[in-house]
């Protein structure tokens, strides 16, 4: 950190000299970690560029369409760019998909049929899928449509239980669900090597079983994606990593062509599929956001590493550790204290470019059992590629920080947070 940066934040944000010096020391210790992140960023940036060049992206692709969206060349070009970048046969990218949960729901309903079995092999999925699957009552859940749900938990160390997965797969197992990121669960994100081994384990038992990866928070964190590591298909949200902070809404499903076609029928209607759907004026933002995404993901990863290192110095447990190789953009901070968790989230909000004056309070949110505190001062509502921190107000009081369009902004927010936390410790 430069002295000019330090002088500015002391004068304008009241950051103490000792907190600033701690940040300087932490940053110096992260040099090799940042170099590793930059190398992945550069590779992925050129990978996206090559896909756009191969597809022949031009001004005409930004125009958009209305109504049915017949022959929307921008929409179709976006699908092709995503597929090429992710090493998939096909992709469907739509701004009408409202969230990661909506995207996952669309993919699952697109593929599963009455009597099929859905097997989650990374423990219980993210909270908002409970009502989709039927773990908790939900109108129109997979359970109500006759889909069987089973689950294989991770081992105590967070590793997949490959032997248990092999035993659990049976002739009725249509889809195996792998959640790459941690959700509101204090466990490591799944690495691409683990996803590859899960896929091999499943296929060795039943070649017809489909491996589906919830790739939310994982795009561009590594040089490959799950569809290049054995997964048959995957899905994610555009207001997370691949939207690059510019996509205003949307989601994608990528993978084997026949599977993506089935999901396309669910997005619209049987017989219509992915050939319809007006892009309106979303094409430019989706494509430009995807172009920026490798850089934005790298900025958020650097911010996460910095945050982890700062709170580690204060004796607070984190996952992953500051120098760990990461498989998602989420930084878990285990406070073991509700006031520390609230203080951290409120400081992150205070460091945001939007709604910085708002004081987050824990509240009930749709799809969650516990009250959730959420710091999210974002240009796009709910965007978690922008700096945010949230978590359910339950023991052991873990905040899940993610995103950050610029590393400098994350750094400032974390310094503010550590100064406030130091007053309580």
CA–CA distance, 425 with 411 (Å, rounded to integer): 21
Q: In this predicted structure, what is the pLDDT of residue 185?
A: 86
* pLDDT tier for residue 117 given thresholds of 50, 70 and 90: very high
Half-sphere exposure of 91 (CA within 13 A, CB side): 23
Tell me, yes or no, whether 122 and 157 share the same domain. yes
Tell me, yes or no, whether 145 and 250 share the same domain. yes
Question: Structural domain of residue 202, as residue ranges?
Answer: 61-280
What mean pLDDT is predicted for residues 235-246? 98
Q: Describe the strand order of the beta sheet including 388-392 as a list of residue ranges.
A: 317-319, 331-334, 398-402, 388-392, 372-375
Q: In this predicted structure, what is the pLDDT of residue 1?
A: 66
For residue 135 the two structure tokens come to: 């773990």
Kindly state whether residue 56 falls inside one of the protein's structural domains.
no
Strands 372-375 and 148-151, how do they pair?
unpaired
How many C-beta atoms surround the C-beta of residue 273 within 10 A? 18
Tell me, yes or no, whether 256 and 121 share the same domain. yes
Kindly state whether residue 54 falls inside one of the protein's structural domains.
no
Which has the closest alpha carbon to 339: 415, 424, 418? 424
For residue 172 the two structure tokens come to: 């009725």
What mean pLDDT is predicted for residues 312-326? 96
Kindly state whether residue 82 falls inside one of the protein's structural domains.
yes
To the nearest 10°, the Cα dihedral for 9, 13, 18, 22?
-60
Query: Does residue 7 or residue 49 have the better pLDDT?
Result: 49
CATH code, domain carrying 146: 3.40.640.10
Among 254, 280, 306, the domain boundary falls at 280
Among 280, 310, 330, the domain boundary falls at 280
Mean of pLDDT over the chain:
96
Q: In this predicted structure, what is the pLDDT of residue 367?
A: 67
Among 259, 280, 301, the domain boundary falls at 280
Q: CA of 127: how far to CAs of 74, 131, 170, 183, 390, in Å?
A: 34, 8, 26, 8, 14
Residue 370 confidence (pLDDT) above 90: no
Q: Phi-psi category of 160—alpha, beta or left, where left has phi over 0 and alpha has psi -120 to 50?
A: beta
Q: What percent of the chain has pLDDT over 70?
A: 100
Q: In this predicted structure, what is the pLDDT of residue 46?
A: 98
Question: 73, exposed or middle or buried, with CB in 10 Å at 0-12, 13-18, 19+?
Answer: middle
Kindly state whether residue 49 falls inside one of the protein's structural domains.
no
| 411-424 pLDDT, tens digit each | 999 999 999 999 98
Q: In this predicted structure, what is the pLDDT of residue 304?
A: 98
What mean pLDDT is predicted for residues 226-233? 98
| 252-282 pLDDT, tens digit each | 999 999 999 999 999 999 999 999 999 999 9
Tell me, yes or no, whether 258 and 303 share the same domain. no
Kindly state whether residue 286 falls inside one of the protein's structural domains.
no
Structural domain tally of the chain?
2
Kindly state whether residue 218 falls inside one of the protein's structural domains.
yes
Half-sphere exposure of 242 (CA within 13 A, CB side): 30
Angle at 243 between CA 238 and CA 244, to 5 degrees: 150
What mean pLDDT is predicted for residues 129-141? 94
Kindly state whether residue 371 falls inside one of the protein's structural domains.
yes
Are residues 349 and 356 in contact, defined by beta-carbon separation less than 8 angstroms? yes
Tell me, yes or no, whether 104 and 156 share the same domain. yes
CATH code, domain carrying 364: 3.90.1150.60
pTM, entire model: 0.96
For residue 25 the two structure tokens come to: 């020391």
Residue 366 confidence (pLDDT) above 80: no
Tell me, yes or no, whether 28 and 65 share the same domain. no
Kindly state whether residue 169 falls inside one of the protein's structural domains.
yes
């Amino acid at each position: 950190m430069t002295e000019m940066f330090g002088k500015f934040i002391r004068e304008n944000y009241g950051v103490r000299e000792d907190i600033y010096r701690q940040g300087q020391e932490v940053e110096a210790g992260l040099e090799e970690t940042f170099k590793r992140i930059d190398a992945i960023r550069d590779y992925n940036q050129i990978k996206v560029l090559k896909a756009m060049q191969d597809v022949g992206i031009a001004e005409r692709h930004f125009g958009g369409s209305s109504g049915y969206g017949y022959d929307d060349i921008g929409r179709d070009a976006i699908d092709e760019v995503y597929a090429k970048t992710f090493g998939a046969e096909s992709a469907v990218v739509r701004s009408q998909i409202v969230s990661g949960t909506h995207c996952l729901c669309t993919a699952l309903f697109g593929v599963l049929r009455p009597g099929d079995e859905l097997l989650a092999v990374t423990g219980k999925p993210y909270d908002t899928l409970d009502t989709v699957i039927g773990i908790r009552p939900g109108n129109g859940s997979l359970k109500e449509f006759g889909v069987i749900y089973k689950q294989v938990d991770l081992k105590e160390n967070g590793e997949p239980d490959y032997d248990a997965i092999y035993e659990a797969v049976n002739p009725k197992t249509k889809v195996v669900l792998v959640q790459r990121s941690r959700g509101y669960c204090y466990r490591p994100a799944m690495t691409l090597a683990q996803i590859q081994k899960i896929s091999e384990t499943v296929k060795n038992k039943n070649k017809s079983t489909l491996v589906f990866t919830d790739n939310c928070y994982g795009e561009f964190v590594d040089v490959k994606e799950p569809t290049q590591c054995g997964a048959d298909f995957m899905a994610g949200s555009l207001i997370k990593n691949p939207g690059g902070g510019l996509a205003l809404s949307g989601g994608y499903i990528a993978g084997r062509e026949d599977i993506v076609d089935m999901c396309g029928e669910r997005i619209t209607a049987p017989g219509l599929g992915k050939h319809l759907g007006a892009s309106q004026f979303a094409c430019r933002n989706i494509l430009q956001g995807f172009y920026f995404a490798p850089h934005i993901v790298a900025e958020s990863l650097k911010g996460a590493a910095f945050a982890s290192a700062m709170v580690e110095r204060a004796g607070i447990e984190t996952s992953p550790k500051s120098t760990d190789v990461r498989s998602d953009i989420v930084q878990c901070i285990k406070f073991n204290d509700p006031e520390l968790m609230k203080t951290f989230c409120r400081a992150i909000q205070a460091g945001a470019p939007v709604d910085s004056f708002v004081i987050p309070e824990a509240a009930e949110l749709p799809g969650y059992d516990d009250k959730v505190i959420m710091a999210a001062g974002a240009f796009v509502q709910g965007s978690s590629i922008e700096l945010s921190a949230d978590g359910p107000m339950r023991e052991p009081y873990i905040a899940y920080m993610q995103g950050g369009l610029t590393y400098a902004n994350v750094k400032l927010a974390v310094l503010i947070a550590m100064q406030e936390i130091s007053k309580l410790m």
